[in-house]
Copies of this chain bind each other. A is one copy, B any other.
Amino acid sequence: MKRPPIKWELVAKDGEARCGLLHTRRGVIETPVFMPVGTLGTVKGTRFEALESAELDARIILGNTYHLWLRPGAETIAACGGLHRFIGWERALLTDSGGFQVFSLGALRKVCEEGTEFRSHVDGSLRFLSPEVSMQVQAALASDIVMAFDECAPGEASHEVARESMLLTARWAERSRKSFNVLQNEGSTQQEQKAGESESSQQTAGGRGNEQRSSSVLPPAPASCFLSFKSALRAPHSALELSGEQALFGIIQGATHLDLRRESLARTVEIGFEGYALGGLSVGEEKRVMYQVVAETAPLMPVNSPRYLMGVGTPEDLIECVARGLDMFDCVLPTRNGRTGQAFTSRGKLNVKNAQWTRDMRPLDENCACMVCRRHTRAYLRHLYLTGEMLASILLTHHNLFFFLDTMRRVRQAIRSGDFTRFRREFLEGVNSGVA
């Protein structure tokens, strides 16, 4: 009998804030955790050696299913042995389902019961993404944590629109779970066959959904859009060989409507997942509304599973949502802002372009211990940014990632020592004080 693909254990609690350990096949991840985004298989502007260094020590990064599916394609990654081997990263990987990226395409997408039709932003080709396709692609990527395929309603969606979308997400969650379980079983069966075992195990990695696996019949997807993994399976290091060990997270939707969030949560938990995410936040709603949704929903989420807030947010958001009981976060802010000349500091954001830094020999953040702040000045970083030098993005990204990851280290320390309330107050005072 297999051990579960992931396991989360509580280490300390301070109010609603939780400190825990997420055990994965690729190492232990302390939570609350910030996960840098590696859209196309690279955390933009950052070498893996830096991510692994004691300074950053990122234990898990993200890959985007939508982007990787389009380029270089799931078959290529599968043929290269899965995303870890393809990119050269041995720590944990989480892949999203592609649902949010497709939502971001706006008018370019068409949602139906079966899935979502959209045009590729790369070449305009017509594509079709469904729970089954997303699970197949994520199996090929062989990420450690797979996200269910969901539909994301806009932040300002009416109750009616949001409910329809939430129910579709629930039906897709069930299809995701079933499809995932079949793929995991294929993977583990293949592994067992390779290992020369004659006895076929019915045990897969999933949660309650496993029970429904044997009766499931996958709804057909459009033949033209479906991926053929035959070549991938023939490849020497097929990603699917590992896929028996993936974990699947469900996603709670419902926009800003608290009753819908509760209903979505109940339906998602009913299906059963290894972890639970809040989706559809930070998509246009007011910040206080987001905090309220988190405050009302998080305490109802299963206590023994990791709770993941997708795509959020600023350092303040992270701390506010940790305070409301969430464990995992991802956001493009540190990397994207790094490329646009914005540094996150203990006194708020610093715009590196400002003329006032022309001869300023101070580091970005005088309270920061990162390599960039130990070595380089605002004057130099401004010069690099204004002359379009790549090093500006590289250094600002490094500093920003350090700020996010180090803040989470301090958050965990504060929770463990029962000091989170004071930490939170002082941190927020700091970032609101303004850069001088």
Contacts and interface: CB of A to CB of B under 8 A. Distances in A.
Given A47-B395, A371-B49, A391-B47, A380 B81 contact: no
A358 interface: yes
Given A87-B380, A380-B87, A76 B394 contact: no
A80 B377 contact: yes
A359 interface: yes
B47 A380 contact: no
23 contacts: A40-B383, A41-B380, A44-B390, A45-B390, A45-B391, A45-B394, A47-B395, A71-B386, A72-B383, A76-B359, A76-B379, A76-B383, A79-B359, A80-B379, A85-B361, A86-B380, A87-B376, A87-B380, A88-B375, A88-B376, A88-B377, A88-B380, A390-B390
Interface in A49-86: 49, 71-72, 76, 79-81, 85-86
Nearest to A390: B45
A386 to B, nearest CB: 7
Given A359-B76, A391-B42, A383 B71 contact: yes
Interface in A192-229: none
Interface in A289-307: none
A42 B389 CA distance: 8
B40 A387 contact: yes
A382 B41 CA distance: 12
Contacts of A389: 40, 42, 44
Given A80-B359, A394-B47, A387 B71 contact: yes
Interface of A: 40-42, 44-49, 71-72, 76, 79-81, 85-88, 237, 358-359, 361, 371, 375-377, 379-380, 382-384, 386-387, 389-391, 393-395
Contacts of A49: 371
A394 B394 CA distance: 9
Contacts of A72: 358, 379, 382-383, 386
A387 B87 CA distance: 14
B81 A361 contact: yes
Contacts of A86: 377, 379-380, 383
Contacts of A387: 40, 71
Contacts of A394: 45, 47, 390, 394
Contacts of A76: 358-359, 379, 383
Nearest to A45: B390
A76 B377 CA distance: 13
A91 to B, nearest CB: 13
A132 to B, nearest CB: 25
Which residue, of A389, A391, A394, A395, has the highest number of chain B Cβ atoms within 10 A?
A391
Contacts of A358: 72, 76
Contacts of A376: 87-88
Contacts of A87: 376, 380
Nearest to A90: B375
Nearest to A72: B383
Given A47-B394, A393-B390, A394-B394, A384 B42 contact: yes
Which residue, of A46, A359, A371, has the highest number of chain B Cβ atoms within 10 A?
A359
Which residue, of A85, A380, A393, A395, has the highest number of chain B Cβ atoms within 10 A?
A380
- Ranked nearest first, the 6 interchain pairs of A and B with the lowest CB-CB distance are A42-B391, A88-B375, A72-B383, A79-B359, A88-B376, A45-B390
A71 to B, nearest CB: 5
Contacts of A383: 40-41, 71-72, 76, 86
